[in-house]
Amino acid sequence: MNNIIGESNAFYEPLTPDNAAMLLIDHQAGLFLGVHSIDQQILKNNVIGLAKTAKAFNLPTVLFTSSAKGPNGPTIPELVELFPEHKIFDRSPINLWNDSNSRMAVEVTGRKKLIMAAITTDVCLAFPALSALKAGYDVYAVIDASGTWTIQAEMATMLRLTQAGAMMTNWVAVAAELKHDEDRSTTPAMNKAYSEHMGLYDFLSDIAAVNS
Domains and CATH numbers, the chain: 20-180 (3.40.50.850)
pLDDT per residue rounded down to tens, the chain (212 residues): 344 444 445 668 999 999 999 999 999 999 999 999 999 999 999 999 999 999 999 999 999 999 999 999 999 999 999 999 999 999 999 999 999 999 999 999 999 999 999 999 999 999 999 999 999 999 999 999 999 999 999 999 999 999 999 999 999 999 999 988 776 787 787 788 888 888 665 554 554 444 55
Active-site residue (options: 35, 38, 96, 124): 124
- Quote the pTM value: 0.89
Tell me how far apart the alpha carbons of residues 208 and 65 are, in angstroms, rounded to a whole number: 41
Q: Is the previous residue joined to 120 through a cis bond, with omega within 30 degrees of 0?
A: yes
124 catalytic per annotation: yes
Q: What are residue 5's phi and psi, to 5 degrees?
A: -65, 130
CA 128 to chain centre: 13
pLDDT at 201: 53
pLDDT at 183: 67
pLDDT at 186: 72
